[in-house]
Amino acid sequence: MKNDGVIIDVRTRGEYAQGHVKGSVNIPLDTLQSQMNTLKKDKPVITCCASGMRSSSAKGMLLSNGFKEVHNGGSWYNLKKFEK
């Protein structure tokens, strides 16, 4: 994330409110398509969710819409260990 990247948590707003990675952005998977214009296509993106299933779908959506560097981070909880 040193290169102005972003962590996108694609869980529901309620799930996100119960805990999330510090600095992540909550864009629920069912709204991602309509909110892609708020993201920069040339910056790194890490997607996360509860287990990795929704974040995998989000990664595919982003890549098919022209995003250059997208990674499936899997579970948000596993990404928390990299928080600073």
Which tens digit of pLDDT belongs to each residue from 22-73? 999 999 999 999 999 999 999 999 999 999 999 999 999 999 999 999 999 9
- pTM strictly above 0.85: yes
pLDDT at 5: 87
Burial label for 17, CB within 10 Å (0-12, 13-18, 19+), is exposed
Alpha-carbon span 81 to 36, nearest angstrom: 27
76 and 24 Cβ atoms separated by less than 8 Å: yes
72 and 59 Cβ atoms separated by less than 8 Å: yes
Tell me: pLDDT of 1 over 60. no
The domains found in the chain, sorted by start residue, are: 6-82 (3.40.250.10)
